[in-house]
Amino acid sequence: MSHARYDFASDNTAPAAPEALEALAAANTGFTSGYGTDPVSAKAADLVREMLDADAEVRFVASGTAANAVALAALCRPFEAVLAHEHAHVCTDETGAPGFFGQGLGLIRLPGASGRIDPAALEQPLSAPDVSYRQPAAALSLTNATEYGTVYSAHELRALIAPVKAKGYGVHLDGARLANAAAAGFDLKAIKELGVDILVVGGTKAGMPPTEAIVIFDRALARRFDARLKQAGQLPSKGRFYAAPFIGMLGSGAFLRHAAHANAMARRLAELMPFPVVHPVEANAVFVEMDDAALSRLHAAGWFAYRFLDGSVRFMCSWATTGESVEQLAVTLRDLA
């Protein structure tokens, strides 16, 4: 087997963008206060608020899994549950972290095409009677862009959030690929009007060294939030190094510019794809129908790609994906097909 290439395995396999690394280096001077109380963290938080046009609390943490799980723990009590798409990251890829951080909170998995929750699926859990032997819904978790590379419009999110807020429940938005959603046309400034209580802004998949921003719109949830983070092992002592990449990426416009490039690479790959594309290509992912034999031959040819939850094979593009690598992969895929 030739040397494995991970260009399209995930946007996590890409290196960090130069804008993020330059900001890290710039933050690496002198002494400053710790645990996110420093001027670098303050500046990064201001840039996040500016991007969202929102007065919100902002914290920087190491991991998207921790960010999501801590956020859901803030919205739910241990005997309550979170509504989420059945293939959402919180349901399928976080090793029970929401329940662990939330001391037992549950997940109610909902269906919907291409990663978007079917609004009709909310009706039953929202109208279910409270009984002692079942964890009732208390929050909704949404993902934009979705696990299948589709993008909710503000209108579609509002349709899901409105009935949840009418019950007085909380709303979490997993934005691990929020940059890609924004580059696809989703208005980030609309989020504050939608009723989202806690947002996670993905840094890592957007081209930063490991960092995610937790944005708390409901300031009542910010009370003792740092204590919650500290207990969860997510209040880094040298907090400026988690915040600085956001300064580099947001201050330069690279956050959206790089995401637009990743989305464009996915569209190009979809155009060249000889296998059937099974989900709309709206962000930076291409999902195709491919049997095990073809996937094995792809791996043998040196390209790594994952079979995903619905049985399709996923190709992810990133800020670092080149047009040349898209063309090279397409040649290999044509040979396989």
Query: How far is it, in rounded angstroms, from Cα 254 to Cα 19?
Result: 7
CATH 3.90.1150.10 assigned to domain 254-336? The reply is yes
Q: What is the mean pLDDT of residues 67-91?
A: 98
Q: Are β-strands 198-202 and 212-216 bridged in parallel, bridged antiparallel, or unpaired?
A: antiparallel
- Report how far apart, in Å, the C-alpha atoms of 10 and of each of 207, 285, 316 are: 12, 9, 5
Nearest to 135 by CA among 175, 112, 169: 169
pLDDT at 216: 98
Q: How far apart are CA 178 and CA 165, in angstroms?
A: 22
Question: How many CB atoms within 10 Å of residue 155?
Answer: 9
Half-sphere exposure for 61 (CA within 13 Å, toward CB): 29
Q: What is the pLDDT of residues 87-109, one digit of tens each?
A: 999 999 999 999 999 999 999 99
Residue range 176-197: average pLDDT?
Answer: 98
Contact of 135 with 81, CB cutoff 8 Å: yes
Question: φ and ψ at 124, to 5 degrees?
Answer: -65, -55
Report the CATH fold assignment for 18-251.
Aspartate Aminotransferase; domain 2 (3.40.640)
Name the nearest CA neighbour of 325 among 34, 5, 31: 5
The continuous run of DSSP H or E covering 191 comes out as helix 191-194
**Common-topology check for domains 18-251 and 254-336:** no
| pLDDT digit string, tens, across residues 236-259 | 999 999 999 999 999 999 999 999
